[in-house]
Amino acid sequence: MAQAQVPEALIPDLSTSTTTSVNYDMDKVSSFTLSSMDMDWRNPGKGFSGQISYDVVAKHFMGLNVAYRFADAFQLKAGIMKMAYITELSYSPRTLECCGYSLGTSYLGGYTKDLCGLQSRARDVGIMALGNLWKRDDRFLVSYTVGVFNGNAYSFKDDNNAKNFAASVLVYPTASLKLSMGTLLGKYTVDETGTLGDRNRFTAGLWYDDGKYFVKAENIYGKTGELQSNGSMLMAGLWFRKNMAVAVRGDNFFMDLHEASSRINKADICFSHTLGKIFRYRVQYGHTFYCDPDRKDSDVLTFSISMKFDSRNYRK
């Protein structure tokens, strides 16, 4: 008697991951933990796919969406998802060659706390169209995303009648090089009276990675209400062994482009070591320079360890 089998497309990929970072800044010790449990229904061809991702530390959904792929060039996705206007955010904080995102991504991308007040890890509720265009050999030359979002982070209930528009374009001149541009045009609720302020972001970046050497750079301009800000990041390094890398990063952020003392410069050097498909740890030293004469420069030593278990690694 034949046994019924569950179609492959209905079997989710199950994964759980956690990243814990401990920072020692010579005066105090602080820690940060990101942990999630995920189910992904992946479909490389046409048809439905979906994602459920739950942050067990923050106790909310990081992803709750469904998508339908009509063709390589066009897919629709709806629900809670990561907005894609900052390309640095496409790299997981678990696998990034330095500990933590750049200052521009943190202040203007909402990963930790956006200048508008949102703390959303760049997630929002909306509808997105995405796709890949112009295939050459085994790769596409262009990919894009276009989306409309509530602008209120994880909540399905919007707190105002404005919508946020986000878009990005990636161009791949070679298999190792990509160029990026992105934008967010939106509003945010300034206060309890319902006053709305601008939340606009414009980004451009260059990303090179040939498997050994890597160079990653991005500039982010932001207008938050009347405040104009700009962040730029340059990271370079190499995998000197198959599982060991060293990276250096220069980071610059102007909180207020009209106030010279609001400038922050940061330099990091980081050692990464991957242990199989599950474990990874990083050791990083960073020095932050403040142009504000009332703020003292700081030195921070960071140790970060990540683990990820994925059912795809155990499938036959």
Contact between residue 165 and residue 179 where contact means Cβ atoms under 8 Å apart: no
161/150 Cα distance (integer angstroms): 8
What would the two tokens of residue 162 be? 């404005």
In a domain, 24, yes or no: no
The whole-number pLDDT of residue 42 equals 84
Domain assignment present for residue 213? The answer is yes
- Is 2 part of a structural domain of the chain? no
Tokens of 151: 């602008």
Predicted local distance difference test score (pLDDT) of residue 1: 47
Q: Is residue 27 part of a domain?
A: no
pLDDT at 316: 56
b/e 177-201 (16+ beta carbons within 10 angstroms → b): ebebebbbbbbbbbeeeeebbbbbb
Q: Report the CATH number that the domain containing residue 97 is assigned in CATH.
A: 2.40.160.10
Does residue 216 sit within a domain? yes
Q: How far is CA 308 from the centre of its chain?
A: 17
Give the count of domains, the chain. Answer: 1
In a domain, 281, yes or no: yes
Any domain includes 151: yes
With tokens 């278990």, the residue in question is: 309
DSSP letter at 40 equals E
| pLDDT tens, the chain, 316 aa long | 455 566 666 788 999 999 999 999 877 888 888 899 999 998 778 899 999 999 988 888 889 999 999 999 999 999 999 988 999 999 988 889 999 999 999 999 877 778 988 888 888 999 999 999 999 988 999 999 999 999 888 877 877 788 999 999 999 999 999 999 999 999 988 887 878 899 999 999 999 999 999 999 999 999 999 999 999 999 999 999 999 999 999 999 999 999 999 999 999 999 999 998 899 999 999 999 999 999 999 999 999 999 999 887 776 5
- Please give the model's pTM, rounded to 2 decimal places: 0.91
In a domain, 72, yes or no: yes
Burial class (CB in 10 A: 0-12, 13-18, 19+), 144: middle
Count CA atoms closer than 13 A to 84's CA, side-chain side: 21
Q: Tell me which residue range forms the domain holding 272.
A: 35-314
Do the strands 13-24 and 29-41 form a parallel or antiparallel pair, or are they unpaired? antiparallel
